[in-house]
Structure formats: structure tokens, C-alpha cells
Structure 1
Amino acid sequence: MIATRADLLAARCRPRKDALDAGEAARLLALLPDWAVDNGRLVRSFTFKNYHRTMAFVNALAYVSHNEDHHPEMTVTYNTCVVRYDTHSAHGLTDNDFICAAKADALYQQAAVAA
């Protein structure tokens, strides 16, 4: 069972067919305070100093997404990347969405340290 943010970071995505119930989704959302659920999707906006740093984050997240085989929708502008997760096959949110959101947070944190 995923109980902490560290558990999310250590977990790997697996095929999911069933969405989480609202209570479990709310419990996992509490582990990721910068994220929100909007229209049934897990959403966060990441802000950067410039386009180069934005694209570096996008490329790093693409690499993580490929390794996890769980891909977000991303909207990219000069200094912002909005990331949205949901699991299409489950028609809602699964633990995979929260796992990848935690990994996106970790990438962002690393980018802030490197800046």
C-alpha cells in the first residue's frame, strides 16, 4: 500500500483497468500538495526561468514517462508546462497517475536545485 510520497517515488506503474474510488484518490492527492484534481484529471502547472529550462523538464519527464509506460498530457509555453494525468484504460485516476506525478515533482525539485 502506498502510504507516503517516498512510496510513490519508489513505486512503478503497472497496467490498471479500474479507477480509484474518490476516497483513495483524495488520500493520494494529500501526498502531493501542489497537484489538484480538475475534470477527473490530476493537474499541476510547473513554472521555469526560461524556455530552455522548460524544455529540459519536458524532455526529462518524457524520459520518465517512457520508462513508466504512462504518459501525461503536457501543454508547453515559454516558461510553463502544465501536466495532466489520468488513466484512459481505467476511465479515471489510478495509482499510476499519482506515481508519475510524484516523479514529476522530483524532477522539478532537481531542476530548482540545479538553477
Structure 2
Amino acid sequence: MYNKLSKVAPVAVTGTNLTKALASLQSWSVVDKSLTKDVVFPDFESTWGFLTQVSMRSHLWGHHPTITTTYNKVQLKLQTHDLENEISDIDIKMAKRIDRYIQMYGNLKR
């Protein structure tokens, strides 16, 4: 489910549409049917500020990434379980929103 309020159904993004979508994202890659990104923040506080933003948006949209974090490093994976773990339009929208949050908190990985 994409949005708890409007209950929009996800649509799979594959082939050339996925290639185009990846071109619009900042340093995301496809690994094992997931959009994946590694981020390094300046410090622990920035990391958790970022994670708080992601968690609030994820809760609002009802779409939750897999997140692994250690101190100032974060790995994000997005896929849509309702589509048998495929990448969907919702994952692309979430990745774009996450990219905005990364800009707010200062990604050191270039």
C-alpha cells in the first residue's frame, strides 16, 4: 500500500522504464530486485536526523525500506512486497524523497 489515506496500488517498474527512473535518481543501483543506496553522513546525529525523516515518511506512505545503519553509515533497500519484491513506482518516489533528506543532512559519500 502506497499511501495510508488514498490507498494507491503499486505499479511495477521494469526494463527501459526502470533504466529511465534510475537516471533520475542520485547514485541508486539495482541489486537483487531492490533499489539500493549507501550513504555516509558527517556524524551520528545527522544519521539519526535523516533516519527519523525516512521513518516518518515511510509510516505516512505505508511503505518501509530495509535499513542497515552503523554510526554514520546507512544502507537503504527499497522493493515492493505486494509485487513479490519487485521495484515499483512507489520505490522510485520514495528514493526521490530519500535523496532530498540526504541533501538536508549532508551525504559525505561521493
Q: TM-score, normalised by structure 2?
A: 0.83
In the other structure, the counterpart of 1:6 is: none
Structural mapping, 1:53-64, within 5 Å: 53-64=46-57
Return the alpha-carbon distance in structure 2 between the equivalents of residues 13 and 19 of structure 1. 16
Mapped pair 1:104 → 2:95: no
Counterpart of 2:64 (choices 71, 81, 96) is 71
In the other structure, the counterpart of 1:51 is: 44
Residue 20 of structure 1 and its aligned partner are, at CA, apart by 2.0
1:5-46 C-alpha deviation (Å, 9 max, x unpaired) = xxxxxxx98322x52222211111110131000111000111
User: Unmatched 5+ residue regions in structure 2?
Assistant: 1-5
User: Unmatched 5+ residue regions in structure 1?
Assistant: 1-11
Higher helix share: 1
Question: Alignment length, in residue pairs?
Answer: 100
Give the match's secondary structure for 2:94. helix
Aligned Cα root-mean-square deviation (Å): 1.7
Write the letter of the residue equivalent to 1:87. T
Q: TM-score, normalised by structure 1?
A: 0.80
1:57-82 C-alpha deviation (Å, 9 max, x unpaired) = 11110011111211100001111111
Seq. identity, %: 26
